[in-house]
């Protein structure tokens, strides 16, 4: 599958290394746990999360009176599944009933535009009426690029001119969505983190408009982060979490990176589910995250 192909490097960096360590050990001892810890940390699972996994693993080994190193693989795999499964029931997009609004936030370059196009396409394939609002008004090229993706996805886009007020675009998007009986309005937002204060002010203004115009209707705030940046994705996510109420994470560019372990760090350290993953540049390359598929793709 595309997921399995995409995770090949993570599999090599994580599961295959774990395999060879376990094979080299025979009996379990403390040195083994240190080596496993090292592999998890270098696979971007994150320090805190790794420590937690290793502690749980030690407990399981004791409880089950496991002595052979080779048996640790299944225990570790299940431990990671248990951790990720804690959020499995929260992974569906919060878009029922209509009308729903999906705000997409994230720093430039992470794949925000592409993700909006892919998501619009997927939702449309599910039979939903989708509208896109071009809330990143800083560069004309960004609006154009989003327009291209809208066309590809077969959905309409609400846009104003370059440098217009982003909150006004979102306002218009909401009015259009109401008038056209849209099921899901997907909103792009600014992504220039170099001026953090401006970015956060801009986002807050958008959130206020949504609050006022939309009330209690379904709302999803998706943060897009780039898997190839590993621990930086985690840092970025924490920064965004300080200003917005993120309801889900989209992890892009999982294909071809060895840093797939960051999925685990993101969920555990932010306490937010990874809802969608990007596994390629094409319009069909956005998938719903599923714990079993993900962990099996790395370990089996
Ligand atoms: P934005 O600046 O955040 O809007 O980023 P873009 O959507 O323009 O994407 C930046 C680059 O990342 C483009 O070349 C995309 O094709 C690429 N990209 C986005 N998502 C993925 C993905 O899941 N996998 C791969 N391989 N490339 C991606």
Write the pLDDT tens digit of every residue in 42-53. 999 999 999 999
| Residue 252 Cβ < 6 Å to ligand 1 | yes
pLDDT of residue 190: 86
What pLDDT is attached to residue 188?
Answer: 97
Does ligand 1 lie within 6 Å of residue 253's CB atom? Answer: yes
How many residues does this entry show for the chain?
Answer: 300
For residue 197, pLDDT over 90 is answered with no
Q: What is the DSSP letter of 91?
A: -
Please give the average per-residue pLDDT across 218-237, as a whole number.
95
Q: What percent of the chain has pLDDT over 90?
A: 88
Average pLDDT over every residue of 236-243? 90
State if residue 280 touches ligand 1 by the CB under 6 angstroms criterion. yes
Band (pLDDT 50/70/90 cuts) for residue 168 is very high
Give the highest mean pLDDT range of 89-98, 144-153, 215-224, 239-248.
144-153
Confidence label for 278 from pLDDT (cuts 50, 70 and 90): very high
Q: Which residue of 3, 110, 114 sits with most ligand 1 atoms within 8 Å of its CB, as the best mutation to test the pocket?
A: 114
Q: CB of 111 closer than 6 A to ligand 1?
A: yes
CA 18/CA 8 separation, integer angstroms: 14
C-alpha distances (whole Å) from 25 to each of 19, 37, 136, 279 are 10, 15, 54, 35
Average pLDDT of the chain? 95
Q: pLDDT tier at 244 (50, 70, 90 boundaries)?
A: confident
Distances (CA, A) of 199 to 102, 209, 211: 18, 16, 18
Q: Which pLDDT score is estimated for 15?
A: 96
CA-proximal residue: ligand 1, atom 12 (nearest)? 111
* Residue bearing the bigger pLDDT, 256 or 262: 262
pLDDT for res 139 = 85
Task: Please answer whether residues 110 and 226 qualify as being in contact, where contact means their C-beta atoms are separated by less than 8 angstroms.
Answer: yes
Is residue 225 within 8 A of residue 236, CB to CB? The reply is: yes
pTM here?
0.96
Distance 80 CA to ligand 1 centre (A): 28
What residue numbers does the annotated binding site cover? Answer: 106-113, 188-192, 252-255
- Terminal-residue alpha carbon distance, the chain: 13
Q: How confident is the model at residue 18 (pLDDT cuts 50, 70, 90)?
A: very high
Residue 198 has pLDDT above 90, yes or no: no
């Amino acid at each position: 599958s595309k997921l399995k192909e995409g995770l090949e490097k993570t599999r090599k960096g994580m599961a295959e290394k774990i395999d060879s360590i376990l094979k080299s050990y025979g009996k379990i001892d403390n040195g083994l746990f240190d080596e496993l810890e090292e592999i998890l940390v270098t696979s971007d699972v994150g320090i805190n999360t790794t420590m937690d996994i290793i502690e749980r693993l030690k407990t399981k080994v004791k409880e089950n009176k496991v002595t052979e190193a080779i048996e640790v693989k299944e225990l570790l795999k299940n431990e990671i599944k248990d951790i990720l499964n804690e959020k499995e029931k929260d992974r569906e997009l919060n878009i029922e009933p209509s009308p729903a609004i999906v705000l997409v936030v994230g720093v430039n370059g992470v794949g925000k535009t592409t993700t909006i196009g892919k998501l619009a396409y997927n939702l449309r394939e599910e039979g939903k009426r989708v509208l896109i609002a071009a809330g990143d008004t800083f560069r004309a090229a960004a609006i154009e690029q989003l327009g291209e993706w809208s066309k590809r996805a077969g959905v309409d886009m609400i846009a104003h001119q370059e440098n217009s007020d982003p909150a006004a675009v979102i306002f218009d998007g909401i009015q259009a969505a109401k008038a056209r009986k849209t099921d899901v309005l997907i909103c792009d937002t600014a992504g220039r983190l170099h001026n953090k204060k401006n970015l956060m002010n801009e986002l807050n203004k958008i959130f206020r408009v949504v609050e006022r115009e939309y009330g209690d209707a379904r709302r999803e705030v998706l943060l897009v982060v780039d898997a190839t940046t590993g621990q930086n994705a985690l840092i970025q996510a924490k920064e965004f979490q300080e200003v917005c109420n993120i309801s889900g994470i989209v992890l892009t560019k999982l294909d071809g990176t060895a840093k797939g372990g960051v999925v685990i760090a993101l969920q555990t350290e932010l306490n937010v589910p990874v809802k969608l993953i990007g596994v390629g540049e094409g319009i069909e390359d956005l998938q719903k995250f599923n714990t079993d598929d993900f962990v099996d793709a790395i370990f089996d």
